[in-house]
């Protein structure tokens, strides 16, 4: 799709995006990541005079640990996703507002998952940080996909993330 056609499509869809964004903002419940982290379970790690991490400290099954790590690494790669989506949709109009709000919400997911995993000693914090650094250093590159491909990617990625988070919740057997 040529740049002119992409610009025309964005302009044509902008009122629908604005309507849906306004509806979402009016009905979405505000939530705070810190409210979902059992802070009272936290304690210092070895460098601060506490205990080093050991797998026996985790109450999570190996499947749940892996799922939470993958979910977190996906959420953590937000700067790369944001850059690619912002490049496709632009910063103006409802499209830009949506991209920024989506990025902020996804960031909340990352903060919540990371804090939960560290406080509960659910995963090895050293391995998690090394994986995060590797993921962030690699980044994500859309390779100049067309606007329609970016729209399809975002739609499928959101659905896949929702399914992944719900399935992870089943495997953790954690009410939070």
Torsion angle, alpha carbons of 19, 23, 25, 30, to 10: -160
Rounded to two decimals, what is the model's pTM? 0.85
**In terms of Cα–Cα distance, which of 82, 69, 84, 64 is closest to 135?**
69
Digit-coded pLDDT (tens) for 108-161 = 999 999 999 999 999 999 999 999 899 888 876 666 777 778 888 888 888 888
Mean pLDDT of the chain: 87
Digit-coded pLDDT (tens) for 22-47 = 999 999 999 999 999 999 999 999 99
């Amino acid at each position: 799709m040529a740049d002119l056609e992409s610009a025309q499509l964005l302009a044509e869809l902008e009122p629908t995006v604005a309507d849906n964004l306004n509806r979402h903002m009016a009905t979405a419940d505000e939530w705070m990541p810190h409210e979902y982290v059992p802070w009272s379970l936290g304690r210092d790690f070895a460098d601060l005079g506490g205990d080093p991490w050991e797998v026996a400290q985790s109450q999570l099954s190996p499947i749940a640990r892996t799922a939470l790590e993958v979910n977190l690494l996906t959420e953590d790669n937000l700067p790369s996703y944001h850059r690619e989506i912002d490049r496709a949709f632009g910063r103006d109009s409802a499209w830009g507002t949506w991209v920024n709000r989506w990025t902020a919400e996804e960031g909340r997911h990352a903060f919540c998952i990371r804090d939960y995993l560290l406080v509960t000693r659910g995963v090895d914090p050293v391995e998690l940080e090394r994986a995060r650094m590797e993921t962030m250093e690699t980044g994500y590159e859309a390779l100049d996909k067309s606007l329609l491909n970016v729209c399809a990617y975002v739609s499928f990625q959101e659905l896949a993330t929702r399914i992944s988070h719900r399935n992870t919740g089943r495997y953790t057997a954690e009410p939070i």
